[in-house]
Structure 1
Amino acid sequence: MNSEFVIMGLPASGKTTFLAALWHLVESKEVDSLLTLHGFSGDFAYLNRISEAWRSFAPVPRTSQGGETNISLQLINSQTEQKCKVMFPDLAGETFDSQVEHRVVRADFVNRFNQETGILFFINSDVKEDSLSIKELNERLQGIESDAKVPTQPAQEWAPKFIPEQVKVVQLLSDLVTYPFEPCKRRLAVLISAWDLVTPVTLSPSEWLMNNMPLVHQFLEANTDYFVYQVYGVSAQGLDFSNDTAVESAADLVPSRRIKITNQDGEGHDLTSPLIWLMSAEL
C-alpha cells in the first residue's frame, strides 16, 4: 500500500531545513538510506537552491506564503518496494500561527490534508519562553524585568501572538479531529528540531517532550483514539552555522553525515527513518 504524508509546524520549526537535507540525502546517496528517490513534483530549482544553501553552511531560505513552491517527494523502500509520497505544502509557519490566532485555515490545505495518511509535525527545541510562569509573563507584558522590578518598555496588551508554543501545537492537533478536517486515526511523527542544542544530552526525544512540552505530551497520551505517535530528535542542519570552529570541523565531513536523527533505537544519519515508521505503524 502506498502512503502519503504531510508536513506541519510553526515558524522556525525546521521544516525547510529538513526538506533541504532530505533532498540532498536521497539525491546524493552518500549514506545508506532505506528510502530512495522514486520521483518528485514541484520546483526543481527551489529544491536545488535550498539544498545548496544547506551544503554551503548558509541559512536555508524560509518557506514563502505565495503558494508557488509546493513540493512532493516520491520515495520507495529499497527492501519492500513500498512507496510513499511526502507533501511539503508551501505554507510558511506563520500560516499555522494564523490558524491558531485567527481560527482560519486554507481550503486547499484541508482538501490536501484529508487525503493524507500521516503527519510529520515539527517543533523547535528552543522553547525557553514556554517555561515562563503567569507572573513572569504578566511582568513581561507590563514592561517589567522580573529581577529589576522597574519598567523597561511600554506595557503591551495581551494578544493571541503571546500564546505559548505548546498551546499552539495542541490547538493545531485538536483542529485535526474537528470540522473541516475529517476526524480519523492518524500516524504522527513528532520531530524535535535543533536536537544538537538540547541539554542534557541524556534525554530521549520522548522525555524531552514530556519535560518541556507537558501539555503536548498529555494531549497525545489522552488522544490515542486519534493519534499513533513517535517522537524523534532531528538535527538536519547538524551544527550552529555561526560557530566557525564547528563549521570548519564539519567541512571535512560528507554532508549527509552532518545529519543526526535520534529515537528510542539510537542515533543515525538516515533522515527517512520517521517516514519508514509512518509507513509501518499500525493504527
Structure 2
Amino acid sequence: MNANFVIMGLPASGKTTFLAALWHLIESQETDCRLTMDGYRGDLVYLRLISTAWRTFKEVPRTSQVGNTDVTIYLKDRESGARGTAMFPDLAGETFELQVEERKCRPEFIEQATADDGVLFFVTANLKEDGLTINELNSRMPETDANADADADADADADHTDKAQPASTQTIKHPEWEPKYAPAQVKIVQLLSDFIRPPFTYRRRRLALMISAWDLARDQHLTPENWLATNMPLVDQFLRSNPELFEHRVYGLSAQGVKLDDDAAVDKISYITPSKRIQIVGPDIEANEHDLTSPLVWLMSAAV
C-alpha cells in the first residue's frame, strides 16, 4: 500500500529548505538514508536550483520568489519496502496564510489533502515576536490625546474656518485588527482544524510537526515536544486534546546546520559532507541524526 502525505507551513517556516536538503540527500546518496527515491514529478531545474543553493550555503529561494512549483517525490523504504508519496503543493506559505485570513482554499490542495494519509507540518523556531503579551504590545502603541477629538470639535464650532488642526491636537488613528495580525500559532491551529470540516475529508491523520531552525533552540536544552509546549502552547494543547484527529510526533530540524549570516560558523563546517550538516532530533532518531527522512518513514509506516 502506498502512503501519501502533504507538506504544509506558513511563510518562512522551512518547507523549501527541507525540500532542497531532501532532494540532495536522496539523490547524492553520500550518507546513510532510510529512504530512496522511487521517482519524482516536477521541475528538475527548480529542484537543482534550490539544492545547489542549500549545498553552497546560499539562501534557498522561497517558493513565492520563484513562482509556485508543484513537486511530488516517490519514496521507498529500504528496510520495510513501504512506499510513499511526498506532495509539496503548488502553494507558497502566503497561500496558507490567506486560507486563514480569507477562508478560501485552492481546489488542487483540497484534492491533495483528500488523498493524503498524513501531514508534514513546518513551524520555525525563529519565533521573533509571536509570544508578546498584550501588555507588551500595548506598551509599543503610540500615545494619543484622549481629549483631542473634543478639543477639535470645540475649536471648529468656535471658529468656522477650514484651518488644518495643529499636529498636537490631531487624533492618531490605530488600524483595526485584522486576521493577518493573528499570532502564528493561532493560524496553525486554524489550518489544522480546517481538516475536520468540509470541504476536507474528516478522518484521523498522522502529523509530523517539524520545528525548523532547530539550531536556534538548541541552547534551551528542551526536547522538541517540550519546546512546542513552552513556545507554542496553543498548538501543543490542540494536538494533545484531539488524539482522535491527529496522531502526532514532534521533531526538531536544522537542515542548514548553521546560520548563513555567521561567516565564522559557515567556514567552520564548510568542509563537512553536506548531508552530514543536517541535524534532526525526535522520536526514533538515535540511529542516524543526519537522516531527515525519519519523519517520512514514520508517516509511511501507517500504510504498512
Is TM (by shorter chain) over 0.5?
yes
For 1:245 and 1:31, how far apart are their aligned partners in 2?
Answer: 25
Secondary structure at the residue paired with 1:172? helix
Deviation for aligned residue 1:88: 0.5
Whether 2:201 is the aligned partner of 1:189: answer no
Q: 1:157-212, CA deviations, whole angstroms, 9 ceiling, x for partnerless residues?
A: 32222101111100000101111101100000000000011053420000000111
Opposite residue 213 of structure 1, the aligned amino acid is: M
For 2:291 and 2:233, how far apart are their aligned partners in 1?
Answer: 28
Opposite residue 209 of structure 2, the aligned amino acid is: V
Q: 2:242 aligns with which of 223, 238, 242?
A: 223
Whether 2:112 is the aligned partner of 1:106: answer no
Whether 2:197 is the aligned partner of 1:166: answer no
Counterpart residue number, 1:137:
137
What are the within-5 Å matches in structure 2 for residues 42-191 of structure 1?
42-64=42-64, 69-140=69-140, 142-143=141-142, 155-191=174-210
Matched residue count: 274
Secondary structure at the residue paired with 1:200? helix
Q: 2:219 aligns with which of 200, 203, 228?
A: 200
Q: Which entry has the higher C-alpha Rg, 1 or 2? A: 2
Opposite residue 25 of structure 1, the aligned amino acid is: L
Counterpart residue number, 1:149:
none
Counterpart residue number, 1:148:
none
Q: Would the aligned equivalents of 1:65 and 1:90 in 2 still touch at CA under 8 Å?
A: no
For 1:65 and 1:20, how far apart are their aligned partners in 2?
Answer: 15
Q: 1:9-60, CA deviations, whole angstroms, 9 ceiling, x for partnerless residues?
A: 0000000000000000000011101101111000000000000000110000
Counterpart residue number, 2:301:
280
Larger deviation, residues 127-136 vs 81-90: 127-136
Cα distance, 1:110–1:225 mapped onto 2, change above 3 Å? same
Q: Would the aligned equivalents of 2:285 and 2:294 in 1 still touch at CA under 8 Å?
A: no
For 1:66 and 1:22, how far apart are their aligned partners in 2?
Answer: 19
Deviation for aligned residue 1:130: 2.1
Opposite residue 178 of structure 1, the aligned amino acid is: R
Deviation for aligned residue 1:111: 1.2
For 1:227 and 1:282, how far apart are their aligned partners in 2?
Answer: 16
Q: Would the aligned equivalents of 2:68 and 2:91 in 1 still touch at CA under 8 Å?
A: no
Whether 2:26 is the aligned partner of 1:7: answer no
Counterpart residue number, 1:147:
none
What root-mean-square deviation, in Å, do the aligned CA atoms of Structure 1 and Structure 2 show?
1.9
- Unpaired runs of 5+ residues, structure 2, are 144-171
Counterpart residue number, 1:211:
230
For 1:5 and 1:53, how far apart are their aligned partners in 2?
Answer: 25
For 1:186 and 1:170, how far apart are their aligned partners in 2?
Answer: 15
Q: Which runs of 4+ in 1 moved over 4 A?
A: 65-68
TM score, norm. by length of structure 2:
0.86
Q: Would the aligned equivalents of 1:67 and 1:90 in 2 still touch at CA under 8 Å?
A: no
For 1:197 and 1:65, how far apart are their aligned partners in 2?
Answer: 24
Opposite residue 12 of structure 2, the aligned amino acid is: A
Opposite residue 291 of structure 2, the aligned amino acid is: D
Counterpart residue number, 2:158:
none
Q: Would the aligned equivalents of 2:82 and 2:301 in 1 still touch at CA under 8 Å?
A: no
Cα distance, 1:235–1:72 mapped onto 2, change above 3 Å? same
For 2:264 and 2:209, how far apart are their aligned partners in 1?
Answer: 31
Deviation for aligned residue 1:247: 0.8
Deviation for aligned residue 1:90: 1.9
- Unpaired runs of 5+ residues, structure 1, are 145-152
TM score, norm. by length of structure 1:
0.92
For 2:199 and 2:189, how far apart are their aligned partners in 1?
Answer: 17
For 2:88 and 2:35, how far apart are their aligned partners in 1?
Answer: 17
